[in-house]
Structures are given as structure tokens and as C-alpha cells.
Structure 1
Amino acid sequence: MRKKGAYQQYKDVQIKTANQGKLLLMLYQGCIKFLGLAIKCINDKDFEGANNYLQRARKVINELMSSLNMQQGGEIAENLAMLYEYMNHQLIQANIHKDTEKIKFVKKLLLQLLEAWQEIINGSNTEENIDTNLSINI
């Protein structure tokens, strides 16, 4: 069995010790990173790499969608679910057509959501407030 590098061990500890709000932000940041890498791969004509990063981004979006608490989140959770579904559809189309504009559009949406969640999370002082504000189950 191969030993994990120090950086990977650090990242594993970061994930295991993060609260729900921090995990949510990490998911958004990871997805945004994957989309940026997918754009780079398409521009470099590395379509296999682009496919890999787009699939990873879609997995993150699916995780975000499955973590929504529809009972507590109400209309906000429903709207987020529809938005995540739309993003997934756009990324499927982007992957088929190698369309960086669709990827850039989804990335822009995610950046806006990340900014909003950062404001919510950073404005909360307790995990209880974070749980209430996020309406998610991670």
C-alpha cells in the first residue's frame, strides 16, 4: 500500500475536522477549481482531461444537491436543487460539445453562490446558526 504524501494527509485532516459550513465552502471551491482545469484542458485540446474534470465537477454538484435539506430549506432548497440540476445539464452539454462558454457560465454561477455562502457562514458564530442558515445535511 502506498503511503499518503504529507499534503494529502493535511487535506484529509482538514476535511475530517471541518464543520458543515467549511465543508460546503470546500465543495464549491473544489468544483470551481475543476471547472477552471476543464477549460484549460479544452483549450489545450486535452479532451480526456476535460472530461475527467467535468465529471468531477458534476460529482461535486450532485453532492451539493443531495446534501440539501428540503424540509428545512423550503423554497431556497428547492431553488438551489433546480439550479444545481441546470448546472449539471449545462456541464453535460459542455462536455459533449467541448463548449468552454457553458463551463464559464456555470463557474460564474458557482462563484456567486460561493460568495453568498461565505457571507452567511462568516456572519454566523455558532454551528447551530450555520446548520439553520445552510439548510443542508453534509
Structure 2
Amino acid sequence: MGANKAYQAYQNNSVNTASGGELTLMLYNGCMKFIKQAMKDMKDNKYEAKNKNIQKAQNIIQELMITLDPKIEISKQIMPLYEFIQFQLKEANIKNDVTKLEEVLGLVTEFRDTWKQVILKNRQQQFAKGEPV
């Protein structure tokens, strides 16, 4: 039990000290985890668990939608994709359609991979300028 508390403290500290970019990356990773678990639950006929995991993924996408800055042009392009992901998650949940979850997982993975590249590029630029990372 002591190791579990230490891990929980580590996780809390990771979230509390993460930059905005790192938090977004954590959200994408969490969303992917919940979608994968929902796929497994669906295959195992664990519909209550599937529902909970899809709802967790939907909550993450909702949070990402809320944090988009409408003044930034790219946000206007990202928002419809987030809305599509939300719709597909809802449809997958209602129809128990694993192919919709696979499609959404692919989109969220692309967002996560792109975001990870942005963070790395930003860190490289900061390092090149001698700024603290």
C-alpha cells in the first residue's frame, strides 16, 4: 500500500508541475487509454465499464474543446474534429461499434503525436536560445 501512495503522490506532483503543453499531452494519453479500455470492455461484453470509459474519453475531449482559444486560427480547424470525435464516441457507445472507437483512437493518436512534436520543437528552440526548459 505504501508504494501505491508514493505512486499517487508522484502522479499528483507530475500534474501539478506540468506545463500547459504537457498537460494537454497527458489529456490525449488519458483519452487514448480510456478508448482502448472501452474497446476491450466492448469485446468482453462489459457494457457498464465500456460506458464509463467512453464517458471519460468524452470528458477529456470536452475539456480540450473548452481550452481551445477561438482567436487562434488553428482552433477553428481543430474544433470540428473534436466535435466529430465526440459524435463518434457517442455513436460507438450507443451502437457498441468498435470500428468507430478504432477510428477515433486513430484521430486522438494523431493529435497526441503532433502535440508531442510541438512540445519537442519548442524545447529545442528554448534550448538553442539558452532559455530554461
TM-score by shorter chain over 0.5: yes
**Which letter maps to 1:33?**
K
**TM-superposed deviation, 1:98:** 0.7
For residue 5 of structure 1, give the secondary structure of its aligned residue in structure 2: helix
Q: TM-score, normalised by structure 1?
A: 0.85
Instruction: State the partner residue of 1:121.
Output: 119
Corresponding residue of 1:36 = 36
CA deviation profile, 1:46-68 (whole Å, cap 9, x unmatched): 00000000000000000000000
Letter of the 2:115 counterpart: W
Moved over 4 A (4+): none
Report the equivalent of 1:89: 87
Q: Which residue does the alignment assign to 2:22?
A: 22
1:123 partner SS: helix
Number of residue pairs matched by the alignment: 121
Separation in structure 1 between the aligned mates of residue 65 and residue 53 of structure 2, nearest angstrom? 18
Distance, in Å, in 2 between the alignment partners of 1:16 and 1:120 is: 21
Alignment match, 1:6: 6
Q: What's the counterpart of residue 129 of structure 2?
A: none
Q: Residue 98 of structure 1: which of 96, 99, 102 is its match?
A: 96
Identity in percent: 36
In the other structure, the counterpart of 2:109 is: 111
Query: What residue ranges of structure 1 are gaps of 5+ in the alignment?
Result: 127-138
The structure that has the greater radius of gyration is 2
RMSD: 1.1
User: RCO greater where, 1 or 2, for CA within 8 Å and sep 6 or more?
Assistant: 1
Unaligned runs of 5+ in 2: 127-133
Question: In 2, Cα distance between the equivalents of 1:89 and 1:31?
Answer: 15
Deviation at 1:121, TM superposition (A): 1.0
Q: Distance in 2 between matches of 1:100 and 1:7?
A: 32
- Amino acid in structure 1 at the alignment position of 2:22: K
Distance in 1 separating the partners of 2:101 and 2:112: 16
